[in-house]
Structure 1
Amino acid sequence: MKPLTIVWAVVIGFITFDRNVVAQDSGPICDVPSAGDLNGSNFTYPFPLKTYKFTSQLQEVEMAFMDVSPTIEPNGKIAICLHGKNFCGPTWEETARQLAGVGYRVILPDQVGFCKSSKPRSYQYTLQQFSYNTKSLLDVLGIENVTVVGHSLGGMTSIRFGLMFPDIIDRLILVNPIGLEDWKALGVPYKPVDILDAIESSSNYTTIREYEQSTYYVGKWDDSYDVWVNMLVDIYKGNEAAMFAFNQALVTDMALSAPVVYEFGMLEPRTLLMIGDKDNTALGKQWSPPDVQTKLGHYDVLGKQAAAAMPNADLIEFPDLGHAPQIQEPGIFHEALLAWLSD
């Protein structure tokens, strides 16, 4: 095992602030009820909820987030967990409890466009913008060093974050990140945002469960997974449903257009890839020709290739798990994660 890495985030130019004011929740950070409708989501969050209000792309937006304190003597380390496209900050609840249980402070944000955060009518989504927003949140909280944990789209964002801000990162943990291959170069046809929006707008419990069951959980299902399906369904049916679907279409277009696979060799932080080998996630796979579909989403191969391309990476594979090993087998997943972090 290689040494430990922690990511510290510093923000450039979004807000000037007095950290003493922020600590009193009278500045851009505000406490809000964890239940109730916030930006189209009625899901009850497991920890106290806050919002970070800032200006981005000439408009006022807010990021919802949870700030979880250590449950034992603090170890001086801070982690931030970045959710995937079909998840929200609460998806990391058990991971946050595990990390807090060994002394970490844990930040769980919802990215702009997702969950309880703003859903702008017009926003140019890029992995760089997600990274700057994340960095801005950490900076306004006065955090100067952080371990970054990213799953799925959050893993892809974490890779870009690591490439942009390597000096502030201690460790980088990528859980079945998307972007380990260039889908468009492999033949995935282009779909305009209008069509992507129609696809997103048609999402419901059945379509979401069928996708997650086949991809995240290797065809298996447990009733406990329903909470995450219903969390997402609530937003697709919420009072900002149309804007949420449109934002998700923009995010899909962003991910398809912004491969990170060619830059793995420049990723400096100490990195851990945690890969469920039976994952078959690939954006655009469902509308690709059969000969293209067969090429895509082979995580048992992609994980090894990514680890070999990254100069400072370890690889932990879960042979029988899919896209969300932290949910499918949380005991096995967290045992491996904490062992690597304690190295």
Structure 2
Amino acid sequence: MYFIQIAPLMFKKLITLSLLILTTTALFAQKDSISIKLENVNYAHPVKFFPISTEGQQLKMAYMDVQPTKNANGRTVVLFHGKNFAGYYWTDVIKTLTTNGYRVVVPDQIGFGKSSKAYIHYSFHQLASWSKALLESLNISKSVILGHSMGGMLATRYALMFPERTEKLLLEDPIGLEDYRTFIPYTNTEKQYQTELKATPESVRKYYQGSYFTKWKPEYDELVRIAGGVSYSKEFPRYAKVAAMTYTMIFEQPVVYEFKNLKVPTVLFIGLEDNTIVGKASLTPEQQAQHGQYKVLGKKAAAEIPGAKLIEFENCGHIPHLEIPKAFAATLLENL
């Protein structure tokens, strides 16, 4: 009789405990869902890896090599991603290009995306050289280079180093249109590392909302899920350290002074509402208003690059290929 009276209470406690365990397990599973190499992030096409040996380390450079789906024209477009992104955000651009006859190669640079997160000296010269080696391994001797954001700095360096391999240079809201060293307080890599360690999905969302888009759309949540989700990984300190290293690369290796030396046809695609500044948080609102004004910087860059063409998008921020995909796709095809 005693057992019959106590059993329901024990059963209730067991159920409550089981639910607590399941909830806690689910919470931690969600937090650990994004690895720093994005192994569990799906890309639109199969990912391969190009081996790289440097500074006593064996590294892997992830890339997609997507063949045209119809009307192959024998031309190749290479997509260079921005600092806070990787191959996953090029899906619509890849589809636009491959359905119009282009082969598309999409590398995740070392330190980004699915590629190795290496403790090495990062430089645009080295990333450009590895990109060239990748393309050589794929028997691609000449290609159109499209670079977005940080990828625009890399694409510029690539075109300066290998003009004979660059059919055309396309720059989509590239950073580095001004020399950040002249107005951003210097932060060494270790101090920047401490800043990167504080990243959370909430801080990523706030930054993306305030810096990248004129109006937030639900589809942008996936960008936050990936970029913010890595902060829950046990390996996040490595990710943060590499992010700090590449911040230093951007800060210390400007390309703006060499625009005049470009010798390839160049097109700039600029969102007029873009106000991106690397190191923006270290400036006062008044200082921020004096820099990162792409409606001014785009025109200035186009004037400095010999023969450059400038295309401006109204009501668009830092990532035209995501914010206005149809307009960007049409304009991109017109300028290939």
**Matched residue type, 1:217:** F
Q: Check if 1:144 corresponds to 2:141.
A: yes
Q: Any idea what SS the aligned residue of 2:181 has?
A: coil
Q: Any idea what SS the aligned residue of 2:230 has?
A: helix
**Matched residue type, 1:48:** P
Q: Give 1:279's aligned residue.
A: 274
Superposed CA offset, 1:179-212 (max 9, x none): 0001111x21011212211111111111111111
Q: Check if 1:166 corresponds to 2:153.
A: no
**Matched residue type, 2:255:** V
Structure 2 CA distance for aligned equivalents of residues 262 and 77 of structure 1: 30
CA shift, 1:289, in A, is 4.0
CA shift, 1:236, in A, is 3.0
1:1-343 alignment, distance < 5 Å: 39=37, 41-120=39-118, 122-185=119-182, 187-218=183-214, 220-341=215-336
Structure 2 CA distance for aligned equivalents of residues 239 and 267 of structure 1: 43
Q: Structure 1 residues 231, 126: CA separation in 2 closer, same or farther (over 3 Å shift)?
A: same
Q: Give 2:20's aligned residue.
A: none
What is the root-mean-square deviation in Å for CA atoms of aligned residues?
A: 1.6
CA shift, 1:293, in A, is 2.2
Q: Structure 1 residues 38, 195: CA separation in 2 closer, same or farther (over 3 Å shift)?
A: closer
Superposed CA offset, 1:129-160 (max 9, x none): 11011111111111111110100000111011
**Matched residue type, 1:73:** N
Judge conservation of contact 1:183–1:283 (CA < 8 Å) in 2: yes
CA shift, 1:239, in A, is 4.4
Superposed CA offset, 1:85-106 (max 9, x none): 1111111110010000110010
Structure 2 CA distance for aligned equivalents of residues 305 and 89 of structure 1: 29
Specify every segment of 5 or more residues in structure 2 that has no aligned partner in the other structure, as ranges. 1-32
Structure of greater Rg: 2
TM-score, normalization by structure 1: 0.86
Q: Give 2:29's aligned residue.
A: none
Structure 1 CA distance for aligned equivalents of residues 98 and 38 of structure 2: 29
Superposed CA offset, 1:254-280 (max 9, x none): 101111111110011101100001101
Specify every segment of 5 or more residues in structure 1 that has no aligned partner in the other structure, as ranges. 1-34
**Matched residue type, 2:288:** Q
Structure 1 CA distance for aligned equivalents of residues 138 and 230 of structure 2: 27
Judge conservation of contact 2:150–2:174 (CA < 8 Å) in 1: yes
Structure 2 CA distance for aligned equivalents of residues 249 and 111 of structure 1: 15
**Matched residue type, 2:196:** E
Judge conservation of contact 2:189–2:245 (CA < 8 Å) in 1: yes
TM-score, normalization by structure 2: 0.87
Judge conservation of contact 2:201–2:229 (CA < 8 Å) in 1: no
Judge conservation of contact 1:42–1:234 (CA < 8 Å) in 2: no
CA shift, 1:234, in A, is 2.9
**Matched residue type, 2:116:** S
Q: Give 2:19's aligned residue.
A: none
CA shift, 1:304, in A, is 0.3
CA shift, 1:75, in A, is 0.3
CA shift, 1:240, in A, is 2.9
Structure 2 CA distance for aligned equivalents of residues 199 and 43 of structure 1: 25
Superposed CA offset, 1:272-291 (max 9, x none): 10000110101112112445
**Matched residue type, 2:330:** E
